[in-house]
Structure 1
Amino acid sequence: MYTQSKLPKASVINVSQIITIDKSFLSEKVHTLAHEIIAQVDDGLKLVLKL
């Protein structure tokens, strides 16, 4: 996904380890992911959460 996303660093989305964080921990928007990658994340979440 790294090459598809054009993120500045290699990154991983692990849908099996979901956590919540307070918005105050976020400083700025780093990047926007392509719709295709978001669709893959959605599919993974549906699988893990059995939706």
Structure 2
Amino acid sequence: MNNLLFISFEESFFIIFIAIIIFGPKKIPEIARGLGEGIRFLKKAKKKIEDEIKW
């Protein structure tokens, strides 16, 4: 089973585990929130560019 990043569940778990070790459990929600905001920004920018190209 693959997720959105095309990595396996085991690889996802390993990455999360390393992130917790490096950043600590209290920083993980803040980092995830920042990543979510970044992804939303990129999606909006992509849609805006697509809309301008369609004209």
State TM-score, norm by structure 1: 0.39
State TM-score, norm by structure 2: 0.37
In our comparison, the structure showing a higher alpha carbon Rg is: 2
Structure of greater relative contact order (alpha carbons < 8 Å, 6+ residues apart): 1
Query: Which structure is higher in helix share?
Result: 2
